[in-house]
């Protein structure tokens, strides 16, 4: 792999890790309100996937969407300000963690409801196709969401209408505290594409290089001939489901075994081994990520809260 690409993939994953750790910290201090879902451990799915897209592609995230938004190119200080509920936030402090959006960089929104990303991306792909635009719409969704009707409805329409849509399942094998084996008769999610005649593949979602290459190839296929493709990216959320999680549904051994497969650790080791990056360069990337997140927190916490008199600004429907 080229040094430039390796540095970019690694730096983005580190930025996301530092972002999430920082959000977790300020949450516990009571400086961030509401709830939030961290993607620690799943960084390669966000980075490998979104960095294989073009700026003009649309991306719809889930409730666990911080990583995807950062990987798609959202401005990090303004996203941090959004999570802190400040007027300088990407959504003027009105959305918070689960409603991060910035259409200028193709981040069409995280979502507090499980499932809609698939229908929304299918609609966006229909618009792209009708306008003759060479763009792809992408939906992230979890393993749990594939048990919802909307998954099957979106897949069916996307197939029938041959829409340029990429369905990306981040399979972390849990929906809240429920393991997939308790709610799926067959846990091979890829097979769910068969009835719709959709091409599908399952990959190691902790291997950022593999994720990047797979999504890049899928995107090229879709642009050459409009069609939906499903990619199941197997991964693990090291963080709890949301801000409160006693981890009673999984063992320490299981969590620790996945820490060994930490995507940042794996990729750093591979790049060192292949002599693409040196230890010093990797350390510098960590320092850069750390500084960027500290600056983002400073920007956010120095920003004002939205004013009460601005409450009705940006309201489009009554
Ligand atoms: C329609 C809907 N049902 C239930 C919930 C509550 N809920 C929030 S996250 C979640 C689990 C989703 O699991 P999965 O799709 O695998 O995503 P993950 O949290 O593992 O990333 C549930 C049930 C919700 N937000 N929306
Ligand atoms: Mg899940």
Indicate the pTM of the whole model: 0.97
Closest ligand to C-alpha of residue 113 is 1
Atom of ligand 1 nearest to the CA of 175: 13
Q: Among all ligands shown, which has an atom nearest to the Cα of 116? A: 1
First vs last C-alpha separation in the chain = 52
Of all ligands present, the nearest one to the C-alpha of 145 is: 1
- In a domain, residue 140? The reply is yes
Domain residues for the domain of 9 are 3-305
On whether residue 236 sits in a domain, the answer given is yes
- List 59's β-bridge partners, or say none: 107, 138
What is the model's pLDDT at position 59? 98
Q: Which residues line ligand 1 (CB under 6 A)?
A: 62-64, 112-115, 142-145, 172, 174-176, 241
DSSP secondary structure letter of residue 241? S
Q: What is the CATH classification number for the domain harbouring 146?
A: 3.40.50.970
Q: In testing the pocket of ligand 1, which one of 175, 189, 241, 245 has its CB within 8 Å of the most ligand atoms?
A: 175
Q: Which of 144, 169, 170 to mutate to test the pocket of ligand 1 (most atoms within 8 A of CB)?
A: 144
In a domain? residue 208: yes
Ligand 1 atom with minimal separation from the 170 CA = 21
Residues 126 and 114: beta-carbon distance below 8 Å:
no
Which atom of ligand 1 approaches the CA of 64 most closely?
21
Cα radius of gyration rounded to whole Å, the chain: 19
Q: Which residues in 224-309 belong to E strands, given as ranges?
A: 229-234
Q: Does any domain span residue 142?
A: yes
* Nearest-atom index, ligand 1, CA of 141: 15
314 is a domain residue: no
Distance 149 CA to ligand 1 centre (A): 14
The ligand 1 atom nearest the CA atom of 176: 11
Ligand 1 atom nearest residue 145's Cα: 15
Separation of alpha carbons 150 and 152, rounded Å: 5
Measure 171 CA to ligand 2 centroid, in angstroms: 6
How many domains, in total, are found in the chain? Answer: 1
- The answer to whether 9 touches 212, Cβ cutoff 8 Å, is yes
Q: How far is the CA of 278 from the centre of ligand 1 (A)?
A: 40
In a domain, 316, yes or no: no
Q: Is residue 311 part of a domain?
A: no
Residues flanking ion ligand 2, Cβ below 5 Å: 142-144, 172, 174
- 170 contacts: CB under 8 Å, gap ≥ 6: 42, 45, 62, 64, 140, 141, 142, 143, 205, 233, 235
**Comparing C-alpha atoms, which of 115, 119, 79 is closest to residue 99?**
79
CA of 269 to the centre of ligand 1 (A): 33
Spatial distance between the Cα atoms of 160 and 149, rounded to a whole number of angstroms = 17
* pLDDT of res. 318: 67
Could you list the mean pLDDT of each consecutive 10-residue stretch along the chain, which spans 318 residues? Answer: 97 98 95 94 98 98 98 98 97 94 96 96 97 97 98 98 98 97 97 98 98 98 97 96 87 95 98 98 98 98 95 80
Q: How far is the CA of 143 from the centre of ligand 2 (A)?
A: 5
Q: Cα 26 vs. chain centroid, distance in angstroms?
A: 21
Is residue 313 included in any domain, yes or no? no
Q: Whose CA is nearest to atom 7 of ligand 1?
A: 114
């Amino acid at each position: 792999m080229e040094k430039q690409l390796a540095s970019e993939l690694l730096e983005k994953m580190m930025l996301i890790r530092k972002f999430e750790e920082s959000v977790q910290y300020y949450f516990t201090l009571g400086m961030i309100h509401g709830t939030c879902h961290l993607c620690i451990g799943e960084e390669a799915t966000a980075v490998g996937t979104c960095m294989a897209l073009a700026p003009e592609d649309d991306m719809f995230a889930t409730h666990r969407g911080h990583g995807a938004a950062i990987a798609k190119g959202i401005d990090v200080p303004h996203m941090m300000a959004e999570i802190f509920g400040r007027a300088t936030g990407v959504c003027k402090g009105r959305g918070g963690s689960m409603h991060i959006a910035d259409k200028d960089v193709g981040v069409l929104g995280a979502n507090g409801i499980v499932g809609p990303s698939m229908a929304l991306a299918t609609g966006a792909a229909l618009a792209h196709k009708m306008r003759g635009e060479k763009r792809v719409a992408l939906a992230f969704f979890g393993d749990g969401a594939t048990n919802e009707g909307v998954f099957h409805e979106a897949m069916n329409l996307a197939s029938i209408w041959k829409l340029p849509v990429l369905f990306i399942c981040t399979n972390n094998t849990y929906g809240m505290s429920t393991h997939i084996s308790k709610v799926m008769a067959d846990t091979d999610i890829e097979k769910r594409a068969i009835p719709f005649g959709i091409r599908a593949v399952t990959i190691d979602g902790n291997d950022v290089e593999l994720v990047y290459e797979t999504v890049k190839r899928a995107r090229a296929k879709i642009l050459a001939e409009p069609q939906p493709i499903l990619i199941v990216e197997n991964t693990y959320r090291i963080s709890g489901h949301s801000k409160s999680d006693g981890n009673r549904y999984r063992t320490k051994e299981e969590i620790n075994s996945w820490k060994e497969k930490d995507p940042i650790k794996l990729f750093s080791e591979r790049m060192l081994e292949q002599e693409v990056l040196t230890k010093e360069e990797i350390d510098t990337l960590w320092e850069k990520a750390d500084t960027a997140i500290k600056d983002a927190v400073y920007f956010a916490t120095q920003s004002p809260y939205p004013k009460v008199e601005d409450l009705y600004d940006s309201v489009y429907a009554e």
